[in-house]
Chain A
Amino acid sequence: MSDRKFGVETLCLHAGQLPDASTGARAVPIYQTAAYVFDDADHAASLFNLQTFGNVYSRLMNPTNAVLEERIATLENGRGGLALGSGMAAQMVALLTLLENGDELVAASTLYGGSYSQFDVTFRRMGIDTRFVNPDDPENFRRAITPATRALYAETIGNPLNNVLDIQAVADIAHDAGIPLVIDNTFATPYLCRPIDHGADIVVHSATKFIGGHGTSIGGLLIDSGKFPWDNGNFPSMTEPSAGYHGVRFHETFGDFGYVMKARMETLRTLGPSLSPFNAFLFLQGLETLPVRMDRHNSNALDVARHLQAHPYVEWVKYPGLENSPYFDLASRYLPKGAGGIMTFGIRGGRDAGVRFIESVQFLSHLANVGDAKTLVIHPASTTHRQLSDEDQIKAGVSGDMIRISVGLESIEDILWDLDQALSSACG
């Protein structure tokens, strides 16, 4: 006998949650508590020693967050999840659980600007060096690996270039080197792509985007595939007694969820970027409708991309769902349900026209976010990527004429109308 494999829509609604044991509440209760009572001294000792599973303190675990953690882990086909205070915190916790002073990371050069800065500035200051490579040729990752490299890092869909990664090829290169591949799956969501199915070992999300889906809350998620062989000799901190937690050997004690336990009990516990249970509740509300929302984001985005491609005031459109995109084949393989809600285009007239466009939209929102139910527009060169040098902007694929759109769920005719009138104002 084997247990039923449920579909993704069912898992979005049910995974990780049973009706509340004491009240029968069907919705997930918000456990707004900092701490939890112990039954007696021995129970407390067992909890601290991790000999029994239970709640201690909401920096480490919270029953509302736990529903979100199990749900996202289930949706990503992973073994365990961890909720964090932001997407940046998820990325940091994922990597600082693996990397220490003297270790190296190889990352895609096309990352979100904040991710790039975390590695290039903050991690470097901590003695962790990142080599950035063009991810279009997976072999670039192999060429940058040294004996000190302990992880590869890339996005399923790059931000804002909309480049699609050949996840399986990069995963194979990571595994040849005995190191894990960490994937930021924010733009795709597990509804469009499950990187673990293509060889990724760890997945991170900014839950702020499509998972929350309504632009209400900041949060991040980390998922452990449970498949990486941490006892391969490259990760003594997974197999030796933990200096950060009572001498526990995470790999031996927790087996295929040892990594996510180490992320929780060492990295989250000592650095502290926890997610508020109220935000976890809002992300759970978002996940319930993820499949229907993503289907509409996909179809609206494809309509917008085709419309812009034919528009006289538009120089170019980058959307991997377009047949003339250099990433169309990769998108067909890794994103078969659709290429997501986000695209960039070049406005005729360059940087100045870009600024005029942004200032001319009527209901499209000018702000630094993506993945909202509302359509969002931004000019990356002057906002999200402005902290990068001109040279690093070009490496990240940001040009002065580039506008990024996160296509929302409004009436498609209205989205196209607002784009048209703003293009006319900017370029007419």
Chain B
Amino acid sequence: MSTHKGRGEFVDDIPGIRRILKNNSRIAVVGLSANWYRPSYFAAKYLKDHGYRIFPVNPKYSTILDLPCYPDLHSIPEPIDVVDLFQRSERVEPFVEQAIEIGTRVIWMQLGVVNDTATKRAIESGIDVVMDRCMKIEHARLFGGLNLFGVTTGIISSHRPETLRQGSDRQ
């Protein structure tokens, strides 16, 4: 189990998303595809390259990104900080139940994934929820990268940019 839980909040602002990305490093990616051109693969590869520990969850595969792939959240032998859901909106609820059972701190529903019932259930269980956002895009938005492609970040600041590479020896 995680050493400390989430706050049970719906997180939708820059300070909140920044906090989640900084304070959590073990990510279970539910519905991760092994096809290199699928968005889930893009996101997981990006997060792995930026120092996060990725735990693929997909019963169809045994390995993805040279990592062991698990059939469900319960099969992962380590505590998980973030459950990142690449699932159709109407199919997320069983995974939210599993996420609650394994004691994750954050449930992150990807861009296009919206489920208010699941969100309410997670928040009542003390889990932070991010919805309808891409974890890769948010990391690149708040810690650099997205700005290089002219995409709006919403950041207005007179301070040098903060970079973030989880658990890294490479700057």
By a beta-carbon cutoff of 8 Å, the part of chain A in contact with chain B is 1-4, 6, 10-11, 14-16, 18-21, 24, 26, 39, 42-43, 46, 49-55, 61, 63, 65-70, 73-74, 78-83, 241, 246-249, 252-253, 255, 257, 260-261, 264
Contacts and interface: CB of A to CB of B under 8 A. Distances in A.
Contact of A2 (B12, B151, B159): B12
A246 B158 CA distance: 38
B160 A52 contact: no
Contacts of B49: 42-43, 46, 51-52
B68 interface: no
A255 B111 contact: yes
Given A16-B147, A52-B46, A53-B149, A21 B39 contact: no
A51 B42 contact: yes
A246 B37 contact: yes
Nearest to B112: A255
A84 B41 CA distance: 31
A106 B46 CA distance: 41
Contact of B152 (A63, A73, A264): A73
A55 B157 CA distance: 23
Interface stretch (B13-21, B69-77, B101-109, B119-127): B13-21
Given A20-B160, A52-B49, A70-B150, 9 more contacts: A18-B159, A21-B160, A52-B46, A61-B149, A66-B150, A73-B151, A73-B152, A79-B152, A247-B37
A314 to B, nearest CB: 44
Contacts, number: 120
B46 A55 contact: no
B150 A10 contact: no
Contact of B42 (A6, A253, A264): A253
Interface in B114-171: 134, 137, 140, 144-161, 163, 170
B36 interface: yes
B45 interface: yes
A54 B112 CA distance: 25
Given A2-B13, A18-B161, A253 B39 contact: yes
A1 B15 contact: yes
Residue with the highest number of chain B CB atoms closer than 10 Å, among A4, A43, A53, A249 = A53
A11 B170 CA distance: 34
A260 B160 contact: no
Contacts of A247: 37
26 contacts: A1-B16, A3-B154, A4-B156, A20-B160, A21-B160, A26-B158, A46-B49, A49-B36, A51-B36, A51-B41, A51-B42, A52-B45, A53-B148, A53-B149, A61-B149, A65-B150, A68-B150, A69-B149, A74-B152, A74-B154, A80-B149, A247-B37, A253-B37, A255-B111, A257-B151, A261-B149
Nearest to A24: B160
B150 A260 contact: yes
Contacts of B148: 53-55, 61, 63, 66
B150 A53 contact: no
Contacts of A67: 147
Contacts of B157: 14, 18
Contacts of A249: 37
Contacts of B39: 252-253
A19 B37 contact: no
A49 B157 CA distance: 31
Nearest to A75: B152
A352 to B, nearest CB: 48
A255 B155 contact: no
Contacts of A248: 37
B45 A46 contact: yes
Nearest to A13: B156
Nearest to B44: A51
A246 B37 CA distance: 9
A15 B156 contact: yes
Pairs of residues from A and B, 10 with the lowest C-beta to C-beta distance, nearest first: A69-B150, A53-B145, A1-B13, A80-B151, A81-B150, A18-B161, A51-B45, A53-B140, A14-B156, A255-B111
